[in-house]
Structures are given as structure tokens and as C-alpha cells.
């Protein structure tokens, strides 16, 4: 049993001063006033800063030089997860962009194997290939296709933790979305020129979220609300946002946050290999992607993911968008935990929850992370 002391605490709902977090094994045993902490236990003085629920990123394609689409393996998944852990992500959904059925099966198997030793790997995000070619973004159009019964079975029976699938609601029938959702797949709507009505039909069939709001989706117009309008009009749908100032203008994000309850927004990175200390360029399915003025682009100028980490998204949300720290922290942890149906053990600092935590300094930079009670430094020493 360990007592974490000396830092302000955000428990997922409120800030606590002069309190201690008592960790026993992988879980939080108590959150107690400092004066009532158990004195006979190991005590770790954090020396100030903020202790919060660790970040959960439901869309991370790569990091630290690794890319899911290259050659999916447990080692690649581990490299992505560990590189982003240094920046506060204690839970990740490694993301495979549109690719072949064989690559999808390999990626699912890689995540399944990685989860046996890395609890920070929460599942897999399959971003495509059942998308709208007119809104493909950086996805390779040659891999975009119609969904088949074999695809439904492969995805629904993946058995690798949470399974998130981004699809276009104007390309996938409502009954297919309903069948996927009934088997536990977290369907997210994205990469689509769908109308407002088509997006609403997807939600009614069981879709749970929208993938990277504003990007690769039909825009909000006065008489045509589009995908953006459907995302903001729905009280229940979760919405991922890339808060880096390049994918979406800060003013657009402020408008979105004013239109919809904040407890449905999730900060995501959409990170690629250059993120988390990776190289400045890489190949995505044979196409060169390079960092140009802090933004990743294909040679034709198309944005291709990001170099973002979750701590950067947090700082940007507070400093450039104007969210409160509590709102931004919630979007980085408790809300994605709720989307993944993991809000009974992740996203809060409370008795019984997993001790998956992040310690931030006064500038909101990561000093330490814990995944199920295990600190980064102890892992590095091992």
C-alpha cells in the first residue's frame, strides 16, 4: 500500500487540497485528508503539482516512430502505448487507418497479444475502411470498400478489449450499424459527406460517437446541418476533437463547446509516428508524410494525422480555447472512459478505481504516470 501525497488532486469531478491517494496494488483504496493518511505505509511525496486521472486517447495511429499500419505486431502496439504514456496517456486505442482485410486481422491479433502484458492498451480503433471516398482525407481510396458479412463477424468477434469502428453512415446501412452495436462494437461516424438525416439514422441505429469533429465530414450550414450539425445537436453522442489549432480553428471549437454539453467531448490526438519524439517524416502505405510547420501533410498538402500528445491537447484547450482545467481534464479522461464503457474503473480517483494516474507540474507538463498502480520510473528501473 502506497500513499501519494504533496499534490493537489483532481478526482474527476472536483479539486482536493491536503489529501492523500492511498493505492493498494492496482487500485485506489482511499482518498483521505492528509492528516488521516495511514502513517505505516510507504509514502511518496509528489512535491506539488496536480494528480489527476490519467489520459485516455481513443484515436492514436502511432507515436515514437511506430505506426499501426506498417506491420502490426504486439511490439509495435507496445511502442505506441509506451511512447504516449510519457505524455500522460495511461490508456490508448491503437488505431488502424483504412487498409486491407488481412491487415485488419493482423492488427486485431496484435492488440489482443499486447493486452496480455500492457493494461494501457484498452482495445483497437478501426478507422475505416467503410468510408465515403469523397471524404477520405489521407486514407488510401484503393482500400475503401463496402462492408461484408465476413467483416462484421471479424470486427464483432475481435476479442481484444474495446472495439471502435469509424464508418460513414451514408455508406453503411442502419441495420448493419444496429448489428455491430448489438454485439458491443463502439460505432463512430466519420469520413463522410452524410446528410444530417443520415447521421441521425446512424445514431438511432446504435452509433455512439463522431470521429474528429469538423475534419473529413459534411459541414454545418444554415439549411443543411450535415454531420457537424448532427454531432452538436445530439445530447448523447460522444465527439472526438483534435485540439491542436491546426485541424480545427480555436473559434470553431469554442462554438462547438458552447453548443453541446462538455461531458460528451473527448480530446484525441490522431497521432502519427512523429508524435511523442518520433521522426519528422514517415511513409503511410507508401506515401510520404512530413512535418511542415508543426502539421503532418501528404505531398499534395492533405493533412495526415497529427504530432499531438494528450498533454499538449490539454494545455491548448485551457490556454487557447478557454476551457476550465476541470473541463479539459474531464475531456481527457472521464469522458473517453465513459465512451469506452470503462467509467466504473477509469477516469476518476476514487475507491475501487484503477490507479491509472498522471502527475502534472504547474505548467501542465507530465512528471509521472501510473498504470494500474505501476509508476513509469519503477517500470523503467525494472
102 in Cβ contact with 36 (< 8 Å): no
Cα separation, 51 vs 361, in Å, equals 9
Which of 173, 180, 178, 177 has the alpha carbon at shortest distance from 155? 180
> What pLDDT, on the 0 to 100 scale, is given for residue 39?
78
**Residue 109: which H helix or E strand, with range?**
helix 101-115
Is omega for the bond preceding 86 within 30 degrees of 0, making it cis?
A: no
> What pLDDT, on the 0 to 100 scale, is given for residue 377?
62
> What pLDDT, on the 0 to 100 scale, is given for residue 41?
76
> What pLDDT, on the 0 to 100 scale, is given for residue 380?
41
pLDDT digit of tens for each residue in the chain (382 aa)?
Answer: 899 999 999 999 999 999 999 999 999 999 999 998 887 678 999 999 999 999 999 999 999 999 999 989 999 999 999 999 999 999 999 999 999 999 999 999 999 999 999 999 999 999 999 999 999 999 999 999 999 999 999 999 999 999 999 999 999 999 999 999 999 999 999 999 999 999 999 999 999 999 999 999 999 999 999 999 999 999 999 999 999 999 999 999 999 999 999 999 999 999 999 999 999 999 999 999 999 999 999 999 999 999 999 999 999 999 999 999 999 999 999 999 999 999 999 999 999 999 999 999 999 999 999 999 999 864 443 3
Instruction: Give the bridge partners for 121, in sequence order.
Output: 92
Fold observed for domain 55-339:
TIM Barrel (3.20.20)
Cα separation, 254 vs 241, in Å, equals 12
Burial tier of 350 (Cβ tally within 10 Å: 0-12, 13-18, 19+)? middle
Every domain of the chain with CATH number 2.30.40.10 lies at 2-52+347-381
Give the sign of the dihedral formed by CA 234, CA 235, CA 240, CA 242.
Answer: positive
Instruction: Give the bridge partners for 89, in sequence order.
Output: 55
| Catalytic positions | 270
Cα separation, 350 vs 220, in Å, equals 39
Largest CA distance in the chain: 66
What order of strands is seen across the sheet that includes strand 357-360? Answer: 15-16, 8-10, 50-53, 357-360, 366-371, 374-375
> What pLDDT, on the 0 to 100 scale, is given for residue 378?
44
> What pLDDT, on the 0 to 100 scale, is given for residue 376?
86
> What pLDDT, on the 0 to 100 scale, is given for residue 382?
32
Helix runs in the chain, H state only? 74-85, 101-115, 149-156, 174-182, 196-204, 226-233, 250-259, 310-316, 325-332, 334-339, 376-381
* Cα distance from N-terminal residue to C-terminal residue, the chain: 19
Please give the angle made by the CA atoms of 278, 281 and 285, to the nearest 5 degrees.
110
> What pLDDT, on the 0 to 100 scale, is given for residue 97?
98
Instruction: Give the bridge partners for 37, in sequence order.
Output: none
CATH 2.30.40.10 fits 2-52+347-381, yes or no: yes
Cα separation, 46 vs 329, in Å, equals 19
CB proximity list for 251: less than 8 A, separation 6 or greater: none
Every domain of the chain with CATH number 3.20.20.140 lies at 55-339
Q: Helix 101-115 to helix 149-156 angle, to the nearest 10 degrees?
A: 10
Amino acid at each position: 500500500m502506497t500513499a501519494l501525497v504533496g499534490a493537489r488532486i483532481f478526482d474527476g469531478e472536483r479539486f482536493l487540497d491536503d489529501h492523500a491517494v492511498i493505492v493498494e496494488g492496482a487500485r485506489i483504496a482511499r482518498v483521505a485528508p492528509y492528516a488521516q493518511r495511514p502513517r505505516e505505509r510507504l509514502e511518496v511525496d509528489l512535491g506539488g503539482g496536480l494528480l489527476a486521472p490519467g489520459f485516455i486517447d481513443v484515436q492514436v495511429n502511432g507515436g515514437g516512430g511506430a505506426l499501426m499500419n506498417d506491420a502490426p505486431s504486439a511490439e509495435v502496439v507496445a511502442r505506441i502505448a509506451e511512447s504516449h504514456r510519457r505524455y500522460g496517456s495511461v490508456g490508448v486505442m491503437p488505431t488502424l487507418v483504412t487498409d486491407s482485410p488481412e491487415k485488419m486481422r493482423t492488427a486485431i491479433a496484435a492488440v489482443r497479444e499486447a493486452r496480455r502484458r500492457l493494461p494501457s492498451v484498452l482495445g483497437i480503433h478501426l478507422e475505416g475502411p467503410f468510408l465515403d471516398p469523397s471524404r477520405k482525407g489521407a486514407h488510401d481510396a484503393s482500400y475503401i470498400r463496402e462492408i461484408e458479412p465476413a467483416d462484421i463477424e471479424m470486427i464483432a468477434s475481435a476479442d481484444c478489449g474495446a472495439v471502435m469502428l469509424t464508418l460513414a453512415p451514408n455508406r453503411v446501412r442502419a441495420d448493419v450499424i444496429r448489428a455491430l452495436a448489438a454485439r458491443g462494437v463502439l460505432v463512430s461516424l466519420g469520413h463522410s459527406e452524410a446528410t444530417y438525416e443520415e447521421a441521425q439514422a446512424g445514431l438511432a441505429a446504435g452509433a455512439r460517437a463522431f470521429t474528429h469533429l469538423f475534419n473529413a465530414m459534411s459541414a454545418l450550414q444554415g439549411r443543411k446541418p450535415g454531420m457537424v450539425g448532427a454531432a452538436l445537436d445530439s445530447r448523447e453522442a460522444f465527439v472526438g476533437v483534435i485540439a491542436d489549432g491546426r485541424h480545427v480553428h480555436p473559434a470553431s471549437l469554442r462554438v462547438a463547446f458552447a453548443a453541446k454539453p462538455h461531458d460528451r467531448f473527448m480530446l484525441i490526438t490522431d497521432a502519427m509516428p512523429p508524435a511523442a519524439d518520433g521522426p519528422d517524416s514517415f511513409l503511410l502505405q507508401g506515401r510520404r508524410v512530413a512535418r511542415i510547420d508543426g502539421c503532418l501533410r501528404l505531398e499534395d498538402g492533405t493533412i495526415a494525422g497529427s504530432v499531438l500528445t494528450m498533454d499538449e491537447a490539454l494545455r491548448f484547450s485551457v490556454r487557447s480555447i478557454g476551457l476550465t482545467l476541470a473541463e479539459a481534464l474531464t475531456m481527457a479522461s472521464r469522458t473517453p472512459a465513459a465512451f469506452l464503457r470503462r467509467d466504473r474503473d477509469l477516469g476518476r480517483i476514487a475507491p475501487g478505481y484503477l490507479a491509472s494516474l498522471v502527475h502534472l507540474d504547474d505548467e501542465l507538463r507530465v512528471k509521472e504516470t501510473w498504470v494500474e498502480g505501476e509508476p513509469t520510473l519503477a517500470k523503467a528501473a525494472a
